[in-house]
Structure 1
Amino acid sequence: MKKEMIKLLLSHNVISEEEAKRLDLINDETIEESIKELGFGKTEHITKDKICENLETEEIAKEILCFRKVFSTNSIAKFLANHSAEEGTVLISEIQTNARGRLGKKWEAPEGGIWMSLILRPQVPPARIGLITLATGVAIAKSIRSLGVDARIKWPNDVLIHGKKISGVLTEVNATFNEIDWIVVGIGIDSNLKLEDFSEDIRIGTTTLTEELPTKVDENELIAIFLNEFEKVYQLYKDGEIEDILKDWRDLADTIGKYVNITQTGGKITQGYVVGINNEGSLIIERQDGTLEKIISGELRTVE
């Protein structure tokens, strides 16, 4: 991870080639401060000041770092989380050049989208980790719906409009069996983008707010709307008000009632109707023989 941060600083001419070759002379505190300085630098259209004009949060987004271009906001967030980054720190980049999705999937993050990561330090049981992805999906869906479009949630980590993906969540965690050190939640929203901005293989099953709305979206305002919504659902998450989160998720779900094919880790395939989710965020499937199966994680595909 340190090498990746050095590469980032080198690409922005913060350090020299000679300095980059001598990793032993660059301590983590220096790297951390240099990264934060980059996050306070010049961007083209997403800025902390503009976001704060509509921000109503108390804990989330006390610190906002806005970058012009980075490899991955999640990678930077994990590095900062391992050091002194506070709960609620937000990292945003106008462009990501090495973004990734869940299960290592390809994720393109060109200019015009919203690409961000949140650093969280919830004092909750590790068994509750999976619910943060669902909670984030609720916040994204509500934010996009505020624009007048029917955003829906696909288990476990996508938000759809008319069955096409508009947003995704990547959750990464550092925890022991009884304690969470940090959670990094990565969010991508295809906002002011055209389908032509993506490679051909990404366009299939994808949509953008440009495709769905008649006017351009104010990205700074949408980021603030999301952060406001996220703080509400995150407070429920920390307080253990899980049923409130799950009720919203069920109301917004695109998945419940559909016949699906789920490929789990190891290649096991389960088919059946989605009947709901449990209090841990696992999907409950009714198979053809009438038995129920709990799915903790997997790749879901709707069978028409």
Structure 2
Amino acid sequence: MFGLNTKIIGRRVIYFQEIDSTNEYAKRIALNEEEGTIIVADTQKSGYGRKFRTWASPRGGLWMSVILKPKTTPDHIVKIVFLGAVAVVETLERFGIDARIKWPNDVLVNEKKICGILTEGSFSEKEVYYIILGIGLNVNNPIPEELVGISTSISKVLGVRIPTEEVFKILVERLEHWYGEFLKGNDEKILQKWREKALLGRNVKIIMEDKEIGGKALDIDELGALILELEDGRREKILYGDVSLRFE
């Protein structure tokens, strides 16, 4: 899993057989750790996704976090999620899997979740101290019975087991490429690639903490907000929320 030939992502890899959470460990060491360091584990005891929802992390999956320290402002952080999703989709394409992105941070195959992406970090109003890009990708791991209808894995899609190390190396390569574009200021290139792979033009339901909104997911703006066309024709920008594709 080591010996990566990269400029930034994965110059240093910290590996655990078992850990509480790669994101939590990354946050503990981020300020004193070099940019691009990856924390990867065979299993996580306390893996989590957005809103600290439990993320099952048994052996066989790819559970990793990357420490990033871009010289940018906090309003650009969401693009780290987008470039992570694009990198995952391109990794899956190398194995002949056609994947799509559901705003803001899920990668789906046949409308079943195969990967979750989470960014956390430390920043002020004008400065980013560090960003943790967490990726949980189902490779060969079993899918919990209660999630079989909504989740899948690479091995389930292909019908064969794929070496996790091979998936890891390709993913790091694609992350290196797209993070490089981010550092060069090619934000629109990232967003356009995201659009090409995203589930847009669909009727969706946006689930927020205090309400739900239905409409058609049209696009994202330059800061990553989802542009939703409401039933009365008005358009609304959604900054936070969960998307359900099964909206009638």
TM-score by length of 1: 0.79
Contact 2:35 2:67 in 1 (8 A): yes
Does the alignment pair 1:270 with 2:232? no
1:215 to partner: Cα distance:
2.2
Equivalent of 2:166 in 206, 221, 228: 221
SS at match of 2:170: helix
Residues 96-154 of structure 1: CA deviation (Å, up to 9, x unaligned):
01101111111100000000000000001211011111110000110011100111111
> Could you tell me which residue of structure 1 aligns to residue 74 of structure 2?
126
| Unpaired runs of at least 5, structure 1 | 1-46
In the TM superposition, 1:199-214 aligns within 5 A as 200-214=145-159
Q: Distance in 2 between matches of 1:209 and 1:191?
A: 5
Contact 1:172 1:184 in 2 (8 A): yes
> Could you tell me which residue of structure 1 aligns to residue 187 of structure 2?
242
SS at match of 1:142: helix
Equivalent of 1:259 in 187, 198, 203: 203
Q: Distance in 2 between matches of 1:57 and 1:272?
A: 42
> Could you tell me which residue of structure 2 aligns to residue 96 of structure 1?
44
Residues matched between the structures, number: 247
| Unpaired runs of at least 5, structure 2 | none
Q: Distance in 1 between matches of 2:154 and 2:14?
A: 24
Residues 172-227 of structure 1: CA deviation (Å, up to 9, x unaligned):
010000000000011011001233xx2x3333300011111132111111111001
Give identity over the alignment, percent.
36
Contact 2:117 2:135 in 1 (8 A): yes
Q: AA paired with 1:184?
A: I
**Runs of 4+ displaced beyond 3 Å:** none
1:268 to partner: Cα distance:
2.2
Residues 2-38 of structure 1: CA deviation (Å, up to 9, x unaligned):
xxxxxxxxxxxxxxxxxxxxxxxxxxxxxxxxxxxxx
Does the alignment pair 1:281 with 2:213? no
> Counting strand residues as a fraction of each chain, which structure ranks higher?
2
Contact 1:70 1:93 in 2 (8 A): yes
Q: Distance in 1 between matches of 2:78 and 2:191?
A: 12
Residues 262-283 of structure 1: CA deviation (Å, up to 9, x unaligned):
012x312211001100111110
SS at match of 1:88: coil
1:238 to partner: Cα distance:
1.7
TM-score by length of 2: 0.97
SS at match of 1:80: helix
Contact 2:5 2:11 in 1 (8 A): no
Q: AA paired with 1:258?
A: R
SS at match of 1:140: helix
Q: Distance in 2 between matches of 1:202 and 1:106?
A: 12
> Could you tell me which residue of structure 2 aligns to residue 166 of structure 1?
114
Contact 1:169 1:188 in 2 (8 A): yes
Q: Distance in 2 between matches of 1:105 and 1:222?
A: 25
Contact 2:99 2:108 in 1 (8 A): yes
1:297 to partner: Cα distance:
1.2
SS at match of 1:79: helix
> Could you tell me which residue of structure 2 aligns to residue 76 of structure 1?
25
The two structures, once aligned, show a CA RMSD in angstroms of: 1.1
Does the alignment pair 1:232 with 2:177? yes
Structure number with greater CO (CA < 8 Å, separation at least 6) is 2
